[in-house]
Amino acid sequence: MSGSNLTYVGVVAIIGVVALIMAWVFRREVLRAGEGTEKMQEIAAAVQEGASAYLNRQFKTLAIFAVLVFGVLFLLPGTAEIRIGRSIFFVVGALFSALIGYLGMWLAVRANVRVAAAARDTGRDPAMRVAFRTGGTVGMATVGLGLVGAGIVVFLYRDNAPSVLEGFGFGAALLAMFMRVGGGIFTKAADVGADLVGKVEQGIPEDDPRNAATIADNVGDNVGDCAGMAADLFESYAVTLVAALILGKAAFGEHGLVFPLIVPAIGALTAVLGVYITRPRANEGGLRTINRSFYISAAVSAVLSVIAAFAYLPSSFAGLVGANEAVAALNGDPRLVASAAVIIGIVLAGIILSLTGYFTGTEHRPVKDVGKTSLTGAATVILSGFALGLESAVYTAVVIAGAVYAAFLLGGGVTILSLFAVALAGCGLLTTVGVIVAMDTFGPVSDNAQGIAEMSGDVDEKGAAILTELDAVGNTTKAITKGIAIATAVLAATALFGSYTDAITTAIGEVGGQVANVASFGYEIVSPNTLVGLIIGAASVFLFSGLLVSAVGRAAGAVVYEVRRQFREIPGIMEGTGKPEYGKVVDICTRDSLAELATPGLLAALAPIAVGFGLGVGALAGFLAGAIAAGTLMAIFLANSGGSWDNAKKLVEDGNHGGKGSDAHEATVIGDTVGDPFKDTAGPAINPLIKVMNLVSVLIAPAIVQLSVGENASPAVRIGIAVAAALVIVAAVTYSKRKPIALEAADNDKAEPAKVG
């Protein structure tokens, strides 16, 4: 790599450091805010203790997986330099993902009480500023660590950087998936249990201190929505960069290793702008304020990215140093291709923001219609939200597919250039990640603030109304970020699919084989092995989702029985003279969520191995296509259905259709509890799932080829690996399904629900 390009890489890394400095600045601003009354601080301290204890236990559990994967990566084909670097940066990626998650949790559990205090003492605008600056801290840390990590790899390994970055992206994705799974099970077990016993059976408010699950519910918001989502968006950032740099090197040569870093570096700078301009105007709703900031920062990113393309890239494909031969022979201007691809990604983010906001926002017809169905019972609430999720998934998936195809067309018929254009569209979308993380963290911080206000009783009616509004805005921003997260997953997965194809072609060339002579290498859709792989890939997404929803159901059942027991056995809880045992519910959620980590993780890592080694790389290509397609639709459906049920409940609680305590309210609470594992557990976890599957496939592709053709071909070893992987999956799923259901574990005489108060 030339000296000038190394300079650009150094500048990108410096911008990453600047982003980290800005994260520290925003953090200081948040921590300067007042912490409210002694009672509010006491409740916040309990949430802080529970969240820290959970994440510490989770990281100890995940360290075992990290050590195992580190060793396996070292055994995969490649030069000694690549194998060592790939394993080391796998650990770095995992550590960065864990660090982002922990930072998100640590600050959120300290910001929540400050948002509540600001709503009580100074009004809506200061409260909103504290909540959004909290998200801004995590957002800047996300882009900062992503740029620093990728920049260091490119600077150290240069032409070998794409291979080493596979390990970096895999570490980030694998840890994020585990954090998403564990945090999602924790938060929704507590939430569902608290709602079913507190709201439905006892008729008390959501965050009433008499409910033993309230502290666990607030802890869950932080370990699931803050820590889990922050890690998820970081891995989206890292994996998209990995895919872009792999394909960029193959298509554009040296320029392809640098330009994909320049674009998100611009996004880091515009994210600072987005956070600072998030200031409500007179009589302006919170969601409109946030959306305006997003659109302004996105527009600035688009303009600066075009300027960067014309300033950095040559005016002809022939001027690209080390470019692919077919690309170098094209007539045209690479600056135009790169600019158009980046703009497609930025526009995609804006469209998804609008589309998701329409289907999940309280001010739009879809959620209002779901709210109206509460007048006829819980069944119609569930049916309407289910239908909304199915319909919205189609529109969002078509928009994402349209963006992918539009970027693909920019390649002018050269496949590697088309795939790089898709990856650049992903980089364009990355320019919005800083603001997107801020939007996402805003939600759980506002939710926690409302909970602290209600539990403490120290916030007046005006302050409570402010927090209710911010919580409703947060529900929509969380749904929006989930939509954008799945878009990044699809773009990254599509680009990684191209990386997988390139890895197969390279490996076949190294062993002297010919694709046409090996049936298992056929990619034709009419090939039975490809169709079988496609079906298995789609089925894996369904199985993964089912495992997570079932896990939430089991853990929530245990919470329900514990909360019922406390209402029944602890004197004076309903009168306010007895104190619930909050720690017992936190322990149940921690125990059950960590116990459920292994099976989904093994499925994600071993399913590609079983298909690839057992049926060949053609079937594995079909597997990836099936997982991407089914994962896209499933994730959007789950997120939007859950978001619509949640905000329909908010509409009723705001006084519509009978208000709190009415039959309509009970119906929407039931709908919301159904949607909780949809939108906050299974749906978001699909994002890292499909990227883990893609990265595993890219990593194992050379080994599959080596065992299939050439001197080292060994069908027996290849089939043995596949059978072993399949048996582990079967054993893990069987073990998971044999776990006792909480309802079956309870004695019949203790299974009676508490009377509605």
Burial of 313: CB neighbours in 10 Å, binned 0-12, 13-18, 19+:
buried
**Number of residues written out for the chain:** 757
Only one residue has tokens 């603001």, namely 435
Those residues with Cβ within 8 angstroms of residue 514's Cβ, 6 or more apart along the chain or in another chain: 508
Q: Confirm whether 526 is domain-assigned.
A: yes
Residue 650 to residues 473, 654, 670: CA-CA distances in angstroms?
A: 10, 6, 13
Query: What was the pLDDT predicted at 513?
Result: 53
Long-range contact set of residues 336-341: C-beta below 8 Å, sequence gap at least 24:
337/410, 337/411, 337/417, 337/421, 338/259, 338/309, 338/313, 338/421, 338/424, 339/305, 339/306, 339/309, 339/310, 340/407, 340/410, 340/421, 341/407, 341/410, 341/421, 341/422, 341/424, 341/425, 341/428
Q: Confirm whether 38 is domain-assigned.
A: no
Say which DSSP state 591 is in: H
> How much is the CA Rg of the chain, to the nearest whole Å?
25
CA 259 to chain centroid: 25
Distance between CA atoms of residues 519 and 247, nearest Å: 26
Residue 148 and residue 564 in contact, taking contact as beta carbons nearer than 8 Å: no
Q: Confirm whether 168 is domain-assigned.
A: yes
Q: What domain range is 85 assigned to?
A: 3-31+45-278+296-747
Q: Confirm whether 283 is domain-assigned.
A: no
Tokens of 322: 């080390």
Q: Give me the number of domains the chain comprises.
A: 1
Tokens of 618: 């053609």
Residue 197 to residues 208, 320, 448, 579, 583: CA-CA distances in angstroms?
A: 11, 64, 19, 16, 17
Those residues with Cβ within 8 angstroms of residue 395's Cβ, 6 or more apart along the chain or in another chain: 355
Query: What residue type is 756 in one-letter code?
Result: V
Distance between CA atoms of residues 79 and 702, nearest Å: 12
Those residues with Cβ within 8 angstroms of residue 403's Cβ, 6 or more apart along the chain or in another chain: 344, 345, 347, 348, 425, 487, 491
Only one residue has tokens 């050269």, namely 414
- Vertex 657, ends 653 and 663: CA angle to 5°? 80
Tokens of 691: 């990227």
Tokens of 294: 């997003």
Distance between CA atoms of residues 297 and 275, nearest Å: 9
Query: What was the pLDDT predicted at 633?
Result: 94
pLDDT along the chain (757 residues), means of 10: 83 94 93 90 86 84 84 81 89 91 88 91 88 90 91 87 86 87 86 82 79 84 78 84 87 91 93 87 79 91 95 92 89 94 93 87 88 93 94 92 93 89 91 86 86 85 86 79 82 78 72 49 65 93 93 88 88 83 87 85 92 90 92 92 89 86 89 88 88 88 82 86 94 83 46 41
Q: Confirm whether 285 is domain-assigned.
A: no
Q: Confirm whether 179 is domain-assigned.
A: yes
Query: What was the pLDDT predicted at 224?
Result: 77
Query: What was the pLDDT predicted at 517?
Result: 41
Query: What was the pLDDT predicted at 364?
Result: 86
Q: Confirm whether 429 is domain-assigned.
A: yes
Residue 191 to residues 594, 638, 680: CA-CA distances in angstroms?
A: 17, 17, 11
The DSSP secondary structure of 365-410, one letter per residue, reads: HHHHHHHHGGGG-HHHHHHHHHHHHHHHHHHHHHHHHHHHHHHHHT
Tokens of 636: 């959007």
Residue 680 and residue 229 in contact, taking contact as beta carbons nearer than 8 Å: no
Distance between CA atoms of residues 24 and 28, nearest Å: 6
Q: Confirm whether 753 is domain-assigned.
A: no
Alpha helices in 313-364 (DSSP H): 325-328, 334-360
Residue 624 and residue 537 in contact, taking contact as beta carbons nearer than 8 Å: yes
Residue 516 and residue 572 in contact, taking contact as beta carbons nearer than 8 Å: no
Residue 442 to residues 136, 439, 475, 564, 607: CA-CA distances in angstroms?
A: 9, 5, 9, 32, 35
Residue 179 and residue 58 in contact, taking contact as beta carbons nearer than 8 Å: yes
φ/ψ of 691, rounded to 5, equals -80, -35
Half-sphere exposure of 335 (CA within 13 A, CB side): 13
